[in-house]
Structure formats: structure tokens, C-alpha cells
């Protein structure tokens, strides 16, 4: 776990930021925690590194040039 915050957004709750080597592990960890019924209304959001964002932007440029809207 990297950090832990209290948050009043959408009712009382917490925001937990943790780092795992495999993004699939984060989903597994969240699933185990939810299954224990210790936490409710869990939302998992994957944060991207700057390198990953750059890769996404490169892919977006490629897709944008290849995409043809329906009917055009």
C-alpha cells in the first residue's frame, strides 16, 4: 500500500492507493477483499504511468488515422 485517505465523496469512505507488479493482481486483491464483505461499494481504478500514457497516445494516433466513421 502506498497511501490511505479518508474521503467524504459519495458518502463516508476511503481511498487506497497500492502498487502491484501485475495489473491483474490488483483485480484479484480487490475481489478477495470484497468477498470477505469487509468493504462495500468498491471501485477499482487503474492509474497509468507517464510511459504508459505515451504509449496510449501513440496508439491513438495510429487508430485515428485508420478509423473511418460509418457511412463515410
pLDDT per position as a tens digit, 38-66: 877 788 888 888 999 999 999 999 998 88
**Contact call for residues 23 and 46 (beta carbons, < 8 A):** yes
Q: Could you tell me the pTM of the whole model?
A: 0.55
Separation CA 30–CA 41 (nearest Å): 11
**Contact call for residues 59 and 67 (beta carbons, < 8 A):** no
Three-class secondary structure of residue 71 per DSSP:
coil
| Burial letters 31-53, b for 16+ CB under 10 A, else e | eeeeeeeeeeeeeeeeeeeeeee
Amino acid at each position: 500500500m502506498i497511501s490511505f485517505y479518508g474521503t467524504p465523496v459519495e458518502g463516508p469512505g476511503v481511498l487506497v492507493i497500492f502498487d502491484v507488479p501485475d495489473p491483474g493482481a490488483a483485480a484479484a486483491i480487490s475481489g478477495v477483499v470484497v468477498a470477505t464483505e469487509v468493504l462495500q461499494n468498491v471501485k477499482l481504478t487503474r492509474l497509468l504511468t507517464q510511459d504508459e500514457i505515451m504509449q496510449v497516445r501513440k496508439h491513438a494516433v495510429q487508430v485515428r488515422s485508420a478509423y473511418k466513421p460509418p457511412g463515410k
